[in-house]
Amino acid sequence: MEGAKPIIPPPPAEIPLPQAGPPQHEGESHDVQQHTIPAGQFDELDRAEALELPPAQDAEDNLEPVVKVLPKLVPGQLVVEVVEAYGLSKDEAAAAITQTRIDPYLKCTLGKQKKAPTHKGRVLKNQGKDVPFNEKMVFNLVDPEPFASEGDVTLTFKIMNSNVLADTTLAEAEISVSGLFVNFQHEGEYRLFYRRRKSDPLQPAGGVKLRMRFYPARMGYLLVHCMEGRKMKNMELMGKQDPYCKFEMLDQKPQRSKTIKNGGTDCSFDGEELRLWLKSNTWTEQLHFSCFDEDIGSDDLIGARNFNLLEFMTDASTMEEFDQEGMGRIHEEWYEIFQGRNMDKLSGEVRLRFQFYPAGTLVIQSIEARHLVDKDTMGRQDPYIVYMMKSNYDTSNFKMRTKTDTDGGTDPRWDETSKMAVVDHHELVMEVYDEDTIGSDDLIGKASFSLLPLFRKGVLDTWVTLRNKDTWGRVTKCGEVHLHLEFIAPPGVAYPLLQPDMDTFDDTERENRLRDESDEQAAVAKDSGFGKGAFVNGRPPGSTDEFTDADIESAFQFIDLNKNGFIGAGEIRHILVCMGELITDEEVDEMVRMVDSDGDGQVSFAEFRLLMLHPDPANFDASTVKDIVEAAPGTAALGLDGKDVAARQEQDAATKREKINLMRLFSQANEVSMPTLQRAFEKFRLLDRGAGSTGFVDFPTMCDILLVEPTGEYKKLFKLMDYEGQARVNMREILLGLCNFANAPLETRCNFCFLMYDEDGNGSLDRTEITEILKANHLVSDPKAVRRKVDTVMQQADRDGSGTVDIDEFLILAKKFPNLLFAVQLDSTAD
């Protein structure tokens, strides 16, 4: 603790620093002003003069009470160091100690609640009126709220005299420590008081010098990098030892580094990173570090030591110890390790690097559900929700479930609030189950959605659609759940952390968005063509009353991710994918076209609102929307026939499903693997070279390249892939489509894809080649269908602005957006 470097921001005027006053006994009140002696202004002569009080009765009659404002209390550790006490007397406070000696000890109680924690210090024998205690009292505040009483957190401080029969009180005081929750540390000298009986007036009883420090605790990740060791004790009689590092914490699975074979006494641990999750109570125990020599039998301890976890945490409100990416101050140094029964024998040094990443808080209010699929054949089902967040760490720490709504049926209500810690998490997964007393619980439906819009805005209120596979394996809608989400985080820290390839958002943007909410709504109304009155009440005739204008506005703002007042194809696809909907680019473009009345390729709020108000949204068409917008809230009728559009949309979707199914059956029947495809591509390159190279083959040639018999089933696949109707197919598209079903790592498939389409062999792909890859992977023939995907690829992958994508950039993009480049395998799960 003493090695910590506290940062003390200027104290707010309304929050007092620690103050001391006379003790408050039960049944009495002392409205006496707090007497705090300025620190650093004492010498032996000053103390006697400073401790002189006016008559106690005058002080109680004339001085006004101190008014305190209780700051926000946070978990943490309070360390009270008693440096010394002076001017103590054995019996009467005014009586000087001349010959008589005392045996004093400290007794400190934090708070006034029942069973408030009390620490008793050691007895110092044969002391005079000035006692050098030099003793620390430590209080762990896992839940600080019970320590507050009457708008303050107080430390009752007593100096006792140890006697054979009964200990007596020499002096006492109540010290306010609520200011430490804001200022973190304070050093000062405080007056002590004494009175023999409750009816007696207060008498001065000396003073005490204290140093107090509050270490705020946080949940989050502690990243440890094991760097190297030196001068470590050799545990092997012959040869070199094989050291490794191990970390152990309260209620956590131990974490260990890899073993360094023949590392010896001076070895490098290669900076290996270990990620430790610090829960709400982990900090109450120390982090135990040990270094072992791995043996065939039991491993030998080279050395060990403990770390105080609070030294690596810093409350983000100070912010001087957090960088722009939300990372805590780096602690990197050589640490001594020890052996022996008392761990007092030096056995070497280890260089470690610690860095803390604080967690934000996701507040989930599970309100209700509607139209859930009924999983019980008899009676009413008992639904509950399980929430999970995806993380690079052990996901068991980020899983939570609600209470069960017994007999909730298809429209349960929970009205329950849950909290989850967020560090690098960016996606929330929700599963709704029917609880059964016999057998396993039945999954009603599930959904997952991105948390990035919540990090950006801070508050979301939405209905989430659940989906699940039916008896036939088709993904169907299973109901909706009403959620209210809030995100609370340390100021200045942008989330998600530890995600360098993602957009991050700090509290500045959230505060600005909340402050500008009314201006934003007005801008949306202006862009949509509605006036203020029409925005609230202007509904075309025949409109449905299923959704209120507030519901429609909330839905529009949720989908409008970039908050420009319009919804584009990219935003629609993102939302649908997060909801688990399998969607193609053609389908998304068709959705936009059906609602886009002015042909600008995006959906305004006016167009979106009319769609939501339409009595039959499935048959909505944009051909009359412009007239309705201009006439709103006028008299134009809603509703035109959209059956042709729906039929064409269904036909395209069915054709794609058939292609996927035939490719999957082909792969299973012929045990397609990456070596098989690589050999087929080499054979194709030998056939398709020279001046007559086109990249296209006929049916017999395709079968010859793939080493299969020309059956009717393969002929059907050939015809579906023959987009031009000229009895030929693009062989690269066939091979790349089959690549999606080969059981191979993503990196292997990327390399194969890159090799096939880098026709000029210059080690990069241009926009045309990227377009061909996306057409093949998404099983479409029109380049316009993947134009936006190509834009995304070039924007995300072409980091150097060269207009091309090299293999490293291609691999990074594939890992970041796997379903953008390889979507066939994902879509096939719907069948």
Q: Which residue has the tokens 């059906």?
A: 594
Q: Which of 102-116, 425-439, 612-626 has the lowest mean pLDDT?
A: 612-626
SS3 302: strand
To the nearest whole number, what is the mean pLDDT of the chain? 77
Nearest to 823 by CA among 784, 789, 787: 789
* Distance (Å, whole) CA 24 – CA 156: 9
pLDDT at 579: 65
Q: Which of 37-46, 123-132, 738-747 has the lowest mean pLDDT?
A: 37-46
Q: Which of 373-377, 383-387, 397-401, 440-444 has the lowest mean pLDDT?
A: 397-401
pLDDT at 373: 92
When comparing pLDDT for 100 and 544, which is higher?
100
What pLDDT digit, counting tens, does each position of 110-139 carry?
999 988 999 999 999 999 889 999 999 999
| pLDDT confidence bin for 360, thresholds 50/70/90 | very high
When comparing pLDDT for 801 and 644, which is higher?
801
* Distance (Å, whole) CA 353 – CA 223: 8
Q: Which of 202-216, 313-327, 495-509 has the lowest mean pLDDT?
A: 313-327
Tokens coding 768: 């045309």
Q: With pLDDT > 70 as the criterion, what percentage of the chain qualifies?
A: 74
* Distance (Å, whole) CA 767 – CA 799: 14
| pLDDT confidence bin for 621, thresholds 50/70/90 | low
| pLDDT confidence bin for 663, thresholds 50/70/90 | confident
Residue 518 clears pLDDT 50, i.e. is over it: no
The CATH homologous superfamily to which domain 360-508 belongs is C2 domain (2.60.40.150)
pLDDT at 802: 76
Residues 177-205, mean pLDDT to the nearest whole number:
84
Tell me the sheet residues that pair with 109.
Answer: 118, 156
Interaxial angle between packed helices 712-721 and 731-739, expressed in degrees from 0 to 180 and rounded to the nearest 10: 110
H-type alpha helices, 51-116: 56-62
Residues 245-251, mean pLDDT to the nearest whole number:
90
* Distance (Å, whole) CA 105 – CA 126: 11
Nearest to 383 by CA among 341, 343, 414: 414
User: Please, what's the b/e burial string for 216-253 (b: 16 or more CB within 10 A of its CB; e: otherwise)?
Assistant: bbbbbbbbbbbbbbeebbbbeeeeebbbbbbbbbeebe
Nearest to 474 by CA among 581, 590, 586: 581
* Strand stretches in 451-515, DSSP E: 459-469, 475-488
Q: With pLDDT > 90 as the criterion, what percentage of the chain qualifies?
A: 27
Residue 97 clears pLDDT 60, i.e. is over it: no
Residues 154-161, mean pLDDT to the nearest whole number:
91
DSSP for 231-274, please give it.
Answer: SPPP--SSS---EEEEEE-TTS--EEPPP-TT-TTSEEEEEEEE
pLDDT at 327: 58
SS3 42: coil
pLDDT at 636: 31
* Distance (Å, whole) CA 765 – CA 786: 16
pLDDT at 95: 42
Residues 659-664, mean pLDDT to the nearest whole number:
83
Residues 713-724, mean pLDDT to the nearest whole number:
84
Residues 440-460, mean pLDDT to the nearest whole number:
89
Q: Does 19-216 match 220-358 in CATH topology?
A: yes
Nearest to 309 by CA among 270, 348, 280, 344: 280
Interaxial angle between packed helices 787-797 and 807-816, expressed in degrees from 0 to 180 and rounded to the nearest 10: 110
The amino acid present at 290, given as its one-letter code, is: S
CATH class in words for 650-828: mainly alpha
* Distance (Å, whole) CA 266 – CA 569: 58
Q: Which of 212-216, 745-749, 815-819 has the lowest mean pLDDT?
A: 815-819
Residue 192 clears pLDDT 80, i.e. is over it: yes
Q: Which of 5-19, 261-275, 373-387, 811-825 has the lowest mean pLDDT?
A: 5-19
User: Please, what's the b/e burial string for 2-31 (b: 16 or more CB within 10 A of its CB; e: otherwise)?
Assistant: eebeeeeeeeeeebbbbbbbbbeeeeeebe
Residues 2-24, mean pLDDT to the nearest whole number:
43
Residue 58 clears pLDDT 50, i.e. is over it: no
Q: What is the dihedral of CA 581, 585, 587, 593, to 10 degrees?
A: 130
| pLDDT confidence bin for 17, thresholds 50/70/90 | very low
Contact call for residues 199 and 340 (beta carbons, < 8 A): no
- Looking at CATH, the fold of the domain delimited by 19-216 is given as Immunoglobulin-like (2.60.40)
* Distance (Å, whole) CA 691 – CA 697: 15
* Distance (Å, whole) CA 534 – CA 525: 9
Q: Please say whether the dihedral angle defined by the alpha carbons of residues 715, 716, 721 and 724, taken in this order, is positive or negative.
A: positive
| pLDDT confidence bin for 467, thresholds 50/70/90 | very high
Which strand (E) or helix (H) includes residue 674? helix 674-687
| pLDDT confidence bin for 411, thresholds 50/70/90 | very high
* Distance (Å, whole) CA 106 – CA 175: 14
Residue 267 clears pLDDT 90, i.e. is over it: yes
Residue 244 clears pLDDT 90, i.e. is over it: yes
Contact call for residues 391 and 275 (beta carbons, < 8 A): no
CATH 3.40.50.150 fits 519-641, yes or no: no
* Distance (Å, whole) CA 575 – CA 450: 8
Longest Cα separation, the chain: 118
CATH 2.60.40.150 fits 220-358, yes or no: yes
Residues 289-315, mean pLDDT to the nearest whole number:
89
Tokens coding 165: 């029969």
Q: Which of 150-159, 365-374, 432-441, 766-775 has the lowest mean pLDDT?
A: 766-775
What pLDDT digit, counting tens, does each position of 673-712 carry?
888 888 888 888 888 776 557 788 889 899 989 888 888 8
CA 788, distance to chain mean position in Å, is 30
pLDDT at 90: 60
Q: Rounded to a whole number, what is the distance in angstroms from the first to the last CA of the chain?
A: 61
Structure pTM?
0.54
Residue 324 clears pLDDT 80, i.e. is over it: no
Sequence spans of domains, the chain: 19-216, 220-358, 360-508, 519-641, 650-828
H-type alpha helices, 688-730: 699-706, 712-721
